[in-house]
Structure 1
Amino acid sequence: MSNRKQPTVVLVHGAFADGSSWNGVVDKLRRAGYPVVAPANPLRGLRSDAAYLRDVLDSVEGPVVLAGHSYGGSVISVAAAGNDKVKALVYVAAFLPDEGESAAELSGKFPGSTLGETLKEVPTALPDGGAVTDLSIDQDKFHGQFAADVPPVTAQRMAATQRPITSAALGEGAGAAAWRTVPSWALLTTEDKNIPVAAQRFMAERAEARTVTLDASHAVTVSRPDAVADLIEEAARSVR
């Protein structure tokens, strides 16, 4: 990926999703000539997830535009700290935590999230003998909770293939806040039932992010991929 005129766009999915949630965004960015990487976010713990993303960034040559959806916003905030390769951050219906803040804390800062009542808990054993609690959204409630503006058949697939996140990851405080030093953009979703738009707006304004607001669900990367890609391209143009 050396000698590219365009920065590489790295897309980080959040909880209850996987890399395919960026498919429409990837298509539009690639048509525009951007190299794109959409790694699998482990969703095991904020510190370890950010460490994994840093390794991914190390494998990319040249400047990077780093975008995160939902909990992925927390991951990019930590992973990009001190990384000169990352030239812009794009937060898509995402958390922009300050140092010490967790996703769970921020989602509850303003009323409106109904995520908690839709979650299923599954205790999961670890190889070292420990245990974690995996969280996923009840498949029968997924469409209304996560992806109300996505066609039902698509939402059913997303529900069946969702990747769980540990409760510890959602409760872990951020170790850094890259948005304090890296130019940031934010896409806010007014119909979001996971992260209330008031919480999204609070975080974006605090970060002095350049902001776009859409009447969309939390699954905006699926329902409005062109709008998401447009904002990422705006950030990418600032790099060049």
Structure 2
Amino acid sequence: MRVRKVFTVLGALLTMAAVVPSSAGAGEDAEKTGAKKPTVVLVHGAFADGSSWNGVVERLQRKGFPVVAVANPLRSLTGDANYLRKVLATIDGPVVIAGHSYGGMVQSQAALGNPNVKSLVYVAAFAPENGESALELSNKFPGSTLGDTLSTVDIGDGSKDLVIQQDKYWQQFAADVSRRDATIAAATQRPVNDTALTEKAGDPAWRTIPSYFVVAGKDKNIPIASQKWMAERANARALVEVRGASHSVAVSQPEIVADLIVRAAR
């Protein structure tokens, strides 16, 4: 596996010491050289919304990075990628994209052929190869219990919207987040159309754009074995493993996620 540096995160306190960058970070480098800092574009996944990035946004803005948290439509992989592609077209200068969960599918498609995108960060996310779907990748290795927690809404066109049952959301999606915050997230989650999860991906941008991965040790949506396998296949520049983290690792460990994004922005 061509991974330049692997961090194993043992716990919140130890993790902070292990992965927080030195003072010579991307923000300082940009200030010294006068270079424009890249815009960080954050793409949420299914059963979440843009607020799931709040902790990461706060930390990136504190370091002086422009940030855009995209409202991912969650309707179809092709449509969602086209929407993200249009958002990217409005941004001048270099871009770093970070996608969570299904957001990794979307960024892999939308960034293809865009010379402004300098790196891709996958946060407990799918990094598909041509012809693979999110559903296929989530079941490639054992461990996902998502299917047993879902409810469906028939929207009348032959497809269904999927949501996580609210009383199961905390343990399934966000077990290392406070129960209060998980309960709010369960109530505000955005549904994903089933066609988005079954649509097969095209050629991925990670073949030509450097990739970085945060993998969640106790993810019940995307098994960690699948996350590590995708990172290895993508020849990730760096992989940060957060032991004990749920699928909502960007919520529970925003400092770790923001730190890797800063590294990817260098």
TM-score (norm 2): 0.86
Equivalent residue in structure 2 for 1:186, among 213, 227, 231: 213
Equivalent residue in structure 2 for 1:195, among 190, 207, 222: 222
Equivalent residue in structure 2 for 1:75, among 86, 95, 106: 106
Partner of 1:157: 184
For 1:74 and 1:100, how far apart are their aligned partners in 2?
12
1:11–1:22 Cα contact (<8 Å) kept: yes
Partner of 1:174: 201
Partner of 2:159, secondary structure, is: strand
Q: CA RMSD in A?
A: 0.9
1:172 is aligned with what amino acid?
E
1:123 is aligned with what amino acid?
D
Number of residue-to-residue matches in the alignment: 231
Shift of 1:132: 2.2
Specify which structure has the bigger relative contact order, considering alpha-carbon pairs within 8 angstroms and separated by 6 or more residues.
2
Partner of 2:255: 226
> Which 4+ stretches in 1 moved above 3 angstroms?
none
Provide, for residues 14-49 of structure 1, a one-character-per-residue CA deviation record: whole Å limited to 9, x for no partner.
000000000000000000010000010000000000
Partner of 1:33: 64
**5+ residue gaps, structure 2:** 1-33
TM-score (norm 1): 0.95
**5+ residue gaps, structure 1:** none
1:47–1:175 Cα contact (<8 Å) kept: no
Provide, for residues 39-73 of structure 1, a one-character-per-residue CA deviation record: whole Å limited to 9, x for no partner.
10000000000000000000011000011000000
For 1:139 and 1:4, how far apart are their aligned partners in 2?
46
- Identity rate of aligned residues, in percent? 63
2:212–2:264 Cα contact (<8 Å) kept: yes
Alignment of 1:1-20 (within 5 A): 5-20=36-51
Partner of 1:89: 120
